[in-house]
Copies of this chain bind each other. A is one copy, B any other.
Amino acid sequence: MQIDTTRHTNRLIVHVRETRIDAASAIEFKEQMRSITQSTALPVLLDLSCVTFIDSSGLGAVVAVRKALDPGRLLELAGLTPAVEKVFRLTRMDSVFPILPALPADLPDDLRDAV
Contact = CB atoms under 8 A, between A and B. Distances in A.
Contacts of A111: 100-101
Nearest to A9: B115
A106 B104 CA distance: 8
Contact of A17 (B45, B81, B107): B81
Interface residues of A, number: 25
Please give the count of copies of this chain that the complex contains.
Answer: 2
B107 A101 contact: yes
A115 B46 CA distance: 13
A105 B101 contact: no
13 contacts: A11-B115, A15-B49, A17-B49, A49-B49, A100-B115, A101-B107, A101-B108, A101-B111, A102-B107, A103-B103, A103-B106, A105-B107, A105-B112
